[in-house]
Chains A and B, each alone.
Chain A
């Protein structure tokens, strides 16, 4: 709370321009009367000229303002028209052309806030006058400002090496700019590398993904940091300083040839919970899959005999390189990089199907998640692409595929996971193709938009796959009727015939929801962006700016922004890259000069503001005993300005004086437009002496 006395109001020569916007404003507001009133009644407030015009934003309208600035010597301009979000830049530019600092212009929204939302002409006209009075009072306190110009470092950080990150990295690097790609796992590829086929074309996922992975691995402009995580982000658009922790691989990537002999010789077999989704094994020294990029293995110290018991070293002994590439003494490394822009493509996690116990996952052996099934039918997977039950030999005769597991469900996630319908159709096709089994799809609604998707649905229908409309109540092995013994029974209300059905099957596949990464909130915080209530990263505008975020210089792509299929993910990766390339081309960026600053003489060093800034812009100077604000980090929210008990922090464009003046102006007229009589000077009343 500020208690500093207001300085005397600056003298200004103000021009007021009231726009008709055709009939958009003039149809409801008596604009001529408003302009006349402003010229007459606000003369004492500094208004020297007030005009109305058909379209202020037209060239002629702008020229009117420019001429007045030059001829009438205006020092401030108030334009009463549409929302500043539409035309603030237009009128600022007009001022600048006439030699007036653009920040000395204020827009008053009498279209969105008056004519479009009110109907009574008299009341609307009164409100328009009051809003203009607010603008006039406020603009007197405006100060000339210069935009904050920041240089753009041409290097870009891409976080996440799934298909979104890969696409973004390649687009930027192919344009000739350096990229640092950070991936948490030992290899890039993401979820797509785990898939067998992709809908609706049934392309082999590896066949279309691995060439891109190789391109990333060999691109001279891409620095690939796998098995690494971003620890800390400092700085701001144009110059972020990022600390990356490169986890120890225990393999010297300089000398390792990736021959794989160490993997072969390693005596420890571990269930692969990540890439094989728990269906297959890997060694204690491993690479997630044969086509991994980079090709160098990593040692899983939790399971490595040497790390656990101090002996073995089989991998090192058999390593054919000289010197040996296995380095047990390797330590985690911290790398500092400087980048100008950041693209977050951190992907999704699969819904944990154990959370719906009635579907039996984790209890009934032959209930699979969608990711497990992907591995099961992958030719490079644990069964070599054989669709078999957990015993490893029996082919299922009937398979049930349950849609919307954890999606479109108030108990778990309200949203639609977008890909599950198509993925389930793909599974149905693959099961039919590989086993000839009867396949039942249990769906709520079939959602097959986009190119060639519904055609694929028609094709699967024609293949004889059964579709049952209804949310599955239970998946159980408790047989009630003859014929159900030894089967898994799916209990469902078939809503198309209005009856309960029990369908015995051998295998169940749960099309699990896509969920935000478990640590999405933490990551969002690290990069200074926000998550929606569902946990996905929030884009700047859901329609018109889907890959930018509210934080300058941070872009998002792929499933981190929300569930989507591969084509949409690739498109977003490329879109984010295009935005970044555009920035790099500009070499520098002009930012709004809305910033807070500390008047050192007034700062008492109380440090109340010190922990209010989520952007770490506020720091305390121990040597001077005062707080400082780094203008480069400040985002201009003004929270510290509002908090300073000494009034020592000021905020440009939103100073106390500006807001106070605007309040006074807005309250100059009562509801019906009559001037309000003041009983005592407002300035005194506005300054309650808070302790």
Chain B
């Protein structure tokens, strides 16, 4: 947690090399400001996004994952962003089943020209995930907290049963 008591979520962002990564570059070149909660990974295409990457990030301590790709019809590889979209919808269903709020994962289209949009979306995502609170996936704990110890800033806000369901579902899956 930061110096203030405000919960600072960690967000992993997957960006497409041709559009959103360049949008992030443009946001930088234009000195637009967005919160430093997001850490980006460059992929060649949103179609490269294996849903396991998202689960891995969430399991590894990320509170949210932002997926960005070219606008429909503008994919550098013609149509692979549609495949990312299909997987995204499936992934959201899977997350629900795992007891993770699907809002923690968000797909955004941003062209190379949309630095402003990229910065805005990051800001919005950080606020949304901040409202959801810490994910508390059992693999990781921030210093001084144990998973499900009730110190999550919004413990009263989030459905109480969910972290438990998440833990159970997860346990089942990692011990084949």
Contacts and interface: CB of A to CB of B under 8 A. Distances in A.
A651 B49 CA distance: 12
Given A113-B40, A123-B36, A637-B47, A687 B147 contact: no
B33 A614 contact: no
B143 A674 contact: yes
B67 to A, nearest CB: 12
A662 B41 contact: yes
A89 interface: no
Contact of B41 (A666, A671, A677, A684): A666
B22 A85 contact: yes
A688 interface: yes
Interface string B1-17: 11100001110100000
Given A83-B28, A614-B77, A679-B138, A642 B87 contact: yes
A9 to B, nearest CB: 15
A638 B44 CA distance: 7
A462 interface: no
A600 to B, nearest CB: 21
Given A612-B83, A672-B1, A116 B57 contact: no
Nearest to A662: B41
Contacts of A130: 39
Interface stretch (A238-246, A352-360, A524-532): A524-532
A663 B34 contact: no
A83 B25 contact: yes
Contact of A127 (B36, B76, B173): B36
A226 interface: no
Interface stretch (B58-66, B100-108, B153-161): B58-66
A672 to B, nearest CB: 5
A114 interface: yes
B28 A667 contact: no
A337 interface: no
B4 to A, nearest CB: 11
A38 to B, nearest CB: 16
Contact of B33 (A112, A119, A615, A654): A119
A682 interface: yes
B44 A636 contact: yes
Contacts of B73: 530-533
Contact of B50 (A2, A533, A636, A677): A2
Contacts of A688: 52, 55, 170, 173-174
B124 interface: no
A659 B43 contact: yes
A1 interface: yes
Contacts of B3: 672
A202 interface: no
B45 interface: yes
A333 interface: no
Given A638-B44, A672-B3, A685-B60, A117 B33 contact: yes
Nearest to B169: A688
A649 to B, nearest CB: 11
Contacts of B39: 127, 130-131, 134, 666-667
Given A117-B27, A684-B174, A670 B61 contact: yes
Contacts of A134: 39, 41
Nearest to B43: A654
B119 interface: yes
Contacts of A127: 36, 39
Given A656-B50, A671-B1, A680-B138, A637 B77 contact: yes
A671 B31 contact: no
Given A111-B28, A134-B41, A677 B1 contact: no
Nearest to B62: A667
B95 interface: no
A639 B78 contact: no
A252 to B, nearest CB: 41
B113 interface: yes
Contacts of B61: 667, 670, 676
A148 interface: no
Given A111-B28, A116-B28, A670-B10, A679 B174 contact: no
B48 A639 contact: yes
B174 A528 contact: no
A85 B60 CA distance: 28
B80 A664 contact: no
Interface string A639-676: 10111000000010110100110111011001110101
A675 to B, nearest CB: 8
Contacts of A670: 1, 10, 61, 142-143
A664 B60 contact: yes
A594 B42 CA distance: 13
A118 B36 contact: yes
A663 B56 contact: yes
Contacts of A686: 52, 55-56, 59-60
B28 A614 contact: no
Nearest to A130: B39
Given A111-B28, A528-B78, A663-B56, A678 B48 contact: no
A120 interface: yes
B174 A671 contact: no
Given A530-B74, A670-B1, 4 more contacts: A127-B39, A531-B73, A639-B47, A689-B176
Leading 4 A-B pairs by shortest Cβ distance? A112-B28, A638-B48, A639-B47, A637-B77
